[in-house]
Structure 1
Amino acid sequence: MIRHLVLFKLNEGVERDDPRVVEGVRAFRALGGQIDELRFWECDWNITDRPIAYDFAINSAVEDTDALKRYLEHPAHQAGVALWREFATWVIADYEF
């Protein structure tokens, strides 16, 4: 199994209630039910307020590197990424467990 973690930081001046952000969150929350390769899916807002904290997180899992590739290339995932590109930056980590 591969754990796929993503941490998002909203761009300067962008707030959670920005309509673009609301749409992006809605798109990512729906992915768990749209992409068969996902074995585990959760995402939500960070609840702490620290200077080094990121704003939003995705914690997911897939079977193997082929499944990860299919997930990353899936049209629903690509559509969500395109939305988030407009208002945030992110870091990822993928590891086997």
Structure 2
Amino acid sequence: MIRHLVLFKLNEGVSRDEPRVAEGDAAFRALGDTIPELTFWQCDWNITDRDIAYDYAIVSDVADADALQRYLTHPDHQAAAAKWREFATWVIADLES
């Protein structure tokens, strides 16, 4: 199993109540129901208000490296990530167990 973690930081001057941010959030939330490779899917806004905290997180599980690659290249994932590129930066980690 591979756990795929992504932490998003909104760009300076971007607020989560902007329509484009709400569209990005909705696009990610829909992925859990549309991409068959995902065996676990969670995404949401961070509830921690600290200077070092990121704003939004995704936690997902896939079976193996091939499933991760299919998820990453899935058109719905690509479309959702493209929305976030307009207003955020992110870091990832993939953990194998």
TM-score by length of 1: 0.99
Q: CA deviation at 1:96?
A: 0.6
Q: CA deviation at 1:62?
A: 0.1
* Aligned mates of 1:19, 1:87 — CA distance in 2: 11
Q: CA deviation at 1:86?
A: 0.1
After TM superposition, the runs of 4+ consecutive aligned structure 1 residues lying more than 4 A away are: none
Q: Which residue of 1 aligns with 2:70?
A: 70
Amino acid at match of 2:48: T
Q: Identity rate of aligned residues, in percent?
A: 75
Q: CA deviation at 1:37?
A: 0.1
Amino acid at match of 1:34: T
Give structure 2 stretches of 5+ with no counterpart: none
* Aligned mates of 1:20, 1:58 — CA distance in 2: 18
Amino acid at match of 2:58: I
Q: Which residue of 2 aligns with 1:96?
A: 96
Amino acid at match of 1:52: I
* Aligned mates of 2:86, 2:19 — CA distance in 1: 12
TM-score by length of 2: 0.99
Amino acid at match of 1:50: R
> What's the Cα RMSD here?
0.3
Q: Which residue of 2 aligns with 1:51?
A: 51
